[in-house]
Amino acid sequence: MRFQSRPDHGKVEAMVARLGMLGQEHPVTGVTIWRGCAVVHLHGELDLHNAPLLHRTLIDLIDGGCRRIVVDATALTFCDSVGLGVLIDAFKAMHACGGGLRLAAPDRHVRATLRMTGLIDILGVRDTLQEVLDEFAV
């Protein structure tokens, strides 16, 4: 299966620039584009208070034309039901437009939450960011 990978780089770059102006509570530390994938790097806790910020970032990427998004959860330490809802919504939006979303390298606490909710397979969770990129990038 091949996904379209022609994001509007102007929109994506503007969105990435806005991330630099946000405070420490923002769960997204950066977005990089690698081999046609937008890699969204998370840190800290993803919860009721900051999940809408991740939602806006993911929607901006989708609206900007990204069709492959990798959420790098290497530095994510906690994810509540609101954070899971954001990931599910983005997964559905990507699926609806012919794209895909994958989750990379969650820690054991986040992984346990994903396992309990049945999202491990749905979100294509892998142990490392490199594994996801090797499978998912063009």
Can you give the pTM of this predicted structure?
0.82
For 35-51, the pLDDT digits (tens) are: 889 999 999 999 999 99
For 65-79, the pLDDT digits (tens) are: 999 999 999 999 999
**Which two tokens mark 110?**
């986040």
The CA-CA-CA angle for residues 127, 1, 75, to 5°, reads 25
Q: What is the third-level CATH fold of 9-136?
A: Transcription Regulator spoIIAA (3.30.750)
Nearest to 129 by CA among 59, 69, 60, 56: 69
Q: How do the domains of the chain map onto residue ranges?
A: 9-136
96 burial (CB, 10 Å; 0-12 / 13-18 / 19+) is exposed
**Which two tokens mark 100?**
């895909």
